[in-house]
Amino acid sequence: MTGPGTYTITAADRGSMARCGVLHTAHGAVHTPVFMPVGTQASVKAMSPRELSEAGVEILLGNTYHLDVRPGIDVVEKTGGLHRFMGWDGPILTDSGGFQVFSLAARRKIGPDGVEFSSHVDGRRHFLGPREAMSIQRRLGSDIAMVFDECPPYPCDREYACQSVEKTISWAASCAGQERAPGQLVFAIVQGGAYADLRRRCAAALVEMGFDGYAIGGVSVGEPEDVLLGGIRDSLPPLPAERPRYLMGVGRMTQILEAVAEGIDMFDCVMPTRYARNGTAFTRSGRYPVKAAACRFDARPVEEGCACYTCANFSRAYVRHLLNVGEILGVRLLTIHNLHRYMEFMTEVRKAIAEGTFGDLRDECFARLRKNEESPPGAGQEV
């Protein structure tokens, strides 16, 4: 029973809904709770596939809309599919383009059958609906395809949220009927904004159709922390325990801990990579700016005790210098470290769940991280 879609729960926390599992895909197994780095344009920014593997990355996220704009799906398809194109042999999850309905709001028109975009690059028109999004993801050959949904903004009024839920349900039904790539799984997305009953209605309707997994969407779009947590709690009850649950675009380590405690299995976020490009290092005890003058003569690694390539070989002073003079290697080295930290953090989470110490880890991490993890602007998803 390890064909694509098999999901085995391997451990469950007694003090929360946290659990560990193994999700099998056409390109290998994924150990949950898992963090998926974002490879919007068929590249996790600044990283090579080898470096991703070394950081312990098991699964990547790719982006339907962006790949459709550049290089074009035909290029990826004709050169052997997204895995071969990127040189990444492991699992890939592709989003459906639905998030761009939100993030590129000024550039699209939503109709009953989908959304018309004008490309952010050259203004060329692209139409995405459930049929197009599934067809693109089939041609990309991703391991997990996301249904095409409508992600409403925050805040949004009840009427808009309601319409968006109905559209999301109807589009999900349409997606379910489309042809898939061999072994490709399809995850549905729960919408409903900040309205608990809409979230429940959406989740229940999707579960009735029977998907391989379920995502919680419409989060990490600027809402306060308690609304995010409410969105998770409102969406989860109808979802079957035996299927993986994915919280889209989240996020911060404290958010991940809270979500794992609610029973979330999968995460993606641009934070570790985007922050690296801004010169911010993630460590066990929080974040700090490597470009700061305090690091000028600092011969210590970016994080003491870290085993990543960056920390094993280079000083803060060097990484700071590279970032300050605009050398590509600076961004590379900090991205390597930040991703390593994120993946190591997820390993700690899985280990704690398996060993029955998740509650302790959570308390300890909160005490360590909260004070040094202020809410950053635009930390969430890649547009």
Angle at which helices 253-262 and 225-235 pack, to 10 degrees? Answer: 30
Q: Which is nearer to a copy of itself, 52 or 205 (CB)?
A: 52
Q: Say which of 13, 68, 95, 212 is annotated catalytic.
A: 95
CB of 42 to a copy of itself, least distance (A): 7
Helix, coil or strand: residue 322: helix
Single residue of 6, 10, 15, 70 touching a copy of itself by CB under 8 A: 70
**Which one-letter amino acid corresponds to residue 367?**
A
Q: Which is nearer to a copy of itself, 18 or 323 (CB)?
A: 323
Residue 24 interacts with a copy of itself (CB under 8 A): yes or no: no
Distances in whole angstroms, Cα of residue 275 to Cα of each of 39, 52, 361, 382: 15, 17, 24, 12
CA neighbor of 272 nearest in space, from 99, 33, 59, 44: 44
Residue 293 interacts with a copy of itself (CB under 8 A): yes or no: no
Single residue of 328, 367, 375, 378 touching a copy of itself by CB under 8 A: 328
Instruction: Give the CA count within 13 Å in the CB-facing half-sphere of 330.
Output: 20
- Respond yes or no: is residue 298 known to be catalytic: no
Q: Which is nearer to a copy of itself, 43 or 118 (CB)?
A: 43
Q: Point out which span in 15-23, 66-74, 226-234, 259-267 binds a copy of itself (CB under 8 A).
A: 66-74
- For every residue of 188-207, DSSP letters joined together read EEE--TT-HHHHHHHHHHHH
- Strand bridging mode 92-95 / 245-247: unpaired
Single residue of 15, 111, 158, 296 touching a copy of itself by CB under 8 A: 296
Given phi > 0 = left and psi -120 to 50 = alpha, else beta, which region is 83?
alpha
CB of 131 to a copy of itself, least distance (A): 25
Residue 86 interacts with a copy of itself (CB under 8 A): yes or no: yes
Single residue of 15, 224, 297, 364 touching a copy of itself by CB under 8 A: 297
Residue 329 interacts with a copy of itself (CB under 8 A): yes or no: yes
Q: Which is nearer to a copy of itself, 68 or 150 (CB)?
A: 68
Residues 34-53 that bind a copy of itself (CB under 8 A): 41-43, 45-50
Phi, psi of 52 (to 5 degrees): -65, -45
- Name the H helices within the chain: 49-54, 64-69, 73-78, 81-86, 98-103, 130-140, 158-176, 196-209, 225-235, 253-262, 271-277, 309-313, 316-325, 328-355, 358-369
Residue 324 interacts with a copy of itself (CB under 8 A): yes or no: yes
- Separation CA 314–CA 302 (nearest Å): 8
CB of 235 to a copy of itself, least distance (A): 34
Residue 71 interacts with a copy of itself (CB under 8 A): yes or no: yes
Residue 331 interacts with a copy of itself (CB under 8 A): yes or no: yes
Residues 153-192 that bind a copy of itself (CB under 8 A): none
Single residue of 7, 35, 65, 85 touching a copy of itself by CB under 8 A: 85
CB of 207 to a copy of itself, least distance (A): 38
- Respond yes or no: is residue 268 known to be catalytic: yes
CA angle 279, 280, 286 (to 5 degrees): 165
Q: How many residues does the chain have?
A: 383
Written as six digits, the tokens of 242 are 């035996």
Residue 309 interacts with a copy of itself (CB under 8 A): yes or no: yes
Q: Say which of 13, 149, 212, 268 is annotated catalytic.
A: 268
Written as six digits, the tokens of 235 are 């969406």
Residues that bind a copy of itself (CB under 8 A): 41-43, 45-50, 70-71, 74-75, 78-80, 84-87, 296-299, 309, 313-315, 317-318, 320-322, 324-325, 327-333
**Residues with active-site annotation:** 95, 268
